[in-house]
Amino acid sequence: MNWTLLGLNKIKKDFSLWEKSVNHRVLVCAGTGCLVNGSMKVYEEFIRIIEKSGLHVIVELKNEEEGVWVSKSGCQGFCQIGPLVTILPENILYTKVKPEDVFDIVETTLKKGELLHRLLYIEPHMQKICKGTEDIPFYQRQCRFVLSKCGAIDPEDIREYIARNGYLGALRACTEMTPEEICKTITDSGLRGRGGGGFPTGKKWDTARVQVSEKKYVICNGDEGDPGAFMDMGVMEGNPHSIIEGMIIASRAIGADEGYVYVRAEYPLAVKRMRKAIKDAYELGLLGSKIFGSDHTFHLQVMEGAGAFVCGEETALIASIEGKRGMPSPKPPFPAISGLWGKPTIINNVETLSTIPLIITEGVEKFRQMGTENSPGTKTFAITGHVLNTGLIEMPLGVTLREIVYGVAGGITGDDGHVMSDGFKAAQIGGPSGGCLTIEHFDLPIDFDSLKKAGAMVGSGGLVMMNKNTCMVSVARFFMQFTQSESCGKCVPCREGTKQMLSLLDDIIEGKATEETLEILEDLAQAVQKGSLCGLGKTAPNPVLSTLRYFREEYEAHVKHKYCPAGKCRALIKFTIDSELCKGCTLCANKCPTGAITGEKKTPHRIDPFLCIKCGVCIQTCKFKAIKGDKP
């Protein structure tokens, strides 16, 4: 069937009529975070209880009928208070919902129209009870553009995506625009790649467009591997059709007839939903031959990656699709000229492709109204670490760290989970490829150019917040250990350099380093940065160099004075017993595995520092809190 604007409008009209006929809609978050916390049991319990209560339950919208429509959504963003349940049309958001809460929700809200206050979110600073997303600062201070449908639609129902103006951008691109016009539109929008590099998307597309070749490819890079990052996963699980539509537009722009969605195998739900979305798109004629009755053909399939971090790099990803070991190749030639099987290929990440349909349908001007002059639009971030509110957010580029920390994230928390008034120490942005932002960067615009000057990068959007109790040397070591283990080993600077950098960091946190160690570490980091073949190696030293730049005194404390200012490096901690608090009960001495604690009963004990292995068992055992791990 050749689908035209009339065909899409019919689906949209029918679905809207069916939607208006229902009395309530129960939207249960079925993103990975909520699923882990049991949201599917909540979903199933809603169906069971509604049927039992005498109300008509609707699990698939097919025609006009009254009742309660129970459906699943992708990630609704506020992960830490899930499972989340949204009740429409009242727009009520219930948090931390368990199966045993469902009966009360049905009886109180669906039957009586009243709020179930114990499941509503309470804003902790003002102790304000929030009915729905319009009252919650976490949502209200965002600019949800790419994420506007994530958490608001059923990701496995193509009709609902179409009902929300889905595939209109692809229709326009295939039937009303030339490839040159599409590339110019994307260039004029100023869209830069959201995968980390920030390269102008329109320029990349136009380079592939002008290549003369009987075969071209479009690849979606969904191989998200940064620790603490889940932006692409959220979009693939919550709005897979936006990615497909973006790829259709991209294929039309460069003249490609085949594409791949490359997803890491560790994202099984994303793989499942992407495959279903592609299958449904084929059934409606939105993929395949003569899309929308035009002369454009585009075939699409999902390929699962084996979980190698390096496959997030373009040429390594291409090698993986070709059946080779995922290892990078020198550039040039760039993939836009010679990519998959030597043919012109454009590779964009999930967020970039999901932005494309919105630019086509809503216009360049609207897109450029958000963000900055050189970094227009929005960016999704995965906030984790020492903050009150963790989850998936979207903010305009140019937003400050202060706005994110205190506006959306709700403030920095201590190790006990309570908000600290002045607890911020650093934020690691961009994952292992990024760098640290400090208090001096609190009002720095977060965009591609500003962060580059600060020695960091937007990267894919991972944002790890750290409080004052964090050891920055240990943070640098964590990311170095990750990149060292993920190095493909092809080039010597990355393979050997990251290994030696990790060894030097180990010496520092174990108290074995000298002042010369810091000089060697810095020189080696710069050598790895300059000499590595691909982006993984070139950016691997970033966390080390940025922490050396902004927290050098912390490194020096480890090296010169043999102590960790944060008190986190075990080898540099001195365990002591407070003689005034010690009751001489001998419990700690009995538990000590090396016999380092001695003393008579009912008299203060002492610890032999030469025998102490700093295991911390004594601290856990002492009932009087007399033992402390102090800084020497």
**Residue 3: what pLDDT?**
52
- Widest Cα–Cα separation across the chain: 91
Dump pLDDT digits (tens) for 191-228: 999 987 789 999 999 999 999 999 999 999 999 888 87
Q: Which amino acid is at 604?
A: P
Predicted pLDDT of residue 432:
83
Q: How far apart are the first and last CA of the chain?
A: 76
Contact 219, 251 (CB under 8 A): no
**Entry field: residues in the chain:** 632
Query: What per-residue confidence (pLDDT) applies to 533?
Result: 87
C-alpha to C-alpha distance for 155 and 240, rounded to whole angstroms: 7
CA distances from residue 440 to 128, 275, 383, 411 in whole angstroms, order as listed: 32, 45, 20, 17
Fold for the domain defined by 573-630: Alpha-Beta Plaits (3.30.70)
How far is residue 466's CA from residue 472's CA, in Å, rounded to a whole number?
A: 9
CA-to-CA distance for 243 and 434, rounded, in angstroms? 26
pTM of this structure? 0.91
Whether the Cβ atoms of residue 326 and residue 319 lie closer than 8 Å to each other? yes
Residue extents of the structural domains in the chain: 5-140, 158-368, 378-470, 473-560, 573-630
Fold identical between 158-368 and 473-560? no
Q: How large is the C-alpha radius of gyration of the chain?
A: 27
> Phi, psi (5° rounding) for residue 82?
-80, 170
Fold category of 378-470 in CATH: Ubiquitin-like (UB roll) (3.10.20)
Closest C-alpha to 163, from 152, 173, 174: 152
Q: Per the structure block, which two tokens stand in for 108? A: 């109180």
Please say whether the beta carbons of 56 and 68 come within 8 A: yes
Q: How many CA atoms lie within 13 A of 18 on its CB side?
A: 16
* Helical residues (DSSP H) of 363-420, grouped into ranges: 364-368, 401-402
pLDDT of res. 306: 80
Which class for 511: exposed (0-12), middle (13-18), buried (19 or more C-beta within 10 A)?
middle
Kindly state the helix (H) or strand (E) to which residue 520 belongs, with its residue range. Answer: helix 515-531
Residue-wise pLDDT tens digits, 577-613: 999 999 999 999 999 999 999 999 999 999 998 898 8
Which CATH architecture does the domain made up of 5-140 adopt? 3-Layer(aba) Sandwich (3.40)
Closest CA to 448 of 374, 394, 350, 370: 374
Nearest in space to 472 (alpha carbons), one of 346, 569, 396: 569
Q: What pLDDT, on a 0 to 100 scale, did the predictor assign at position 547?
A: 93
Q: What pLDDT was estimated at residue 2?
A: 52
- Bridge partners (DSSP) of residue 387 are 412
Q: In this structure, what token pair is assigned to residue 353? A: 């492709």
278: helix, coil or strand? helix
Q: Which residues of the chain have pLDDT under 50?
A: 1, 632
Evaluate whether the domain defined by 473-560 bears CATH number 1.10.3720.10: no
Helix (H/G/I), strand (E/B), else coil: 307: coil
Three-state secondary structure readout of 151-214: CCCCCCCHHHHHHCCCCHHHHHHHHCCCHHHHHHHHHHHCCECCCCCCCEHHHHHHHHHCCCCC
For 158-368, CATH number out of 3.40.50.11540, 3.40.50.720, 3.40.50.300, 3.40.50.2300 equals: 3.40.50.11540
pLDDT at 342: 96
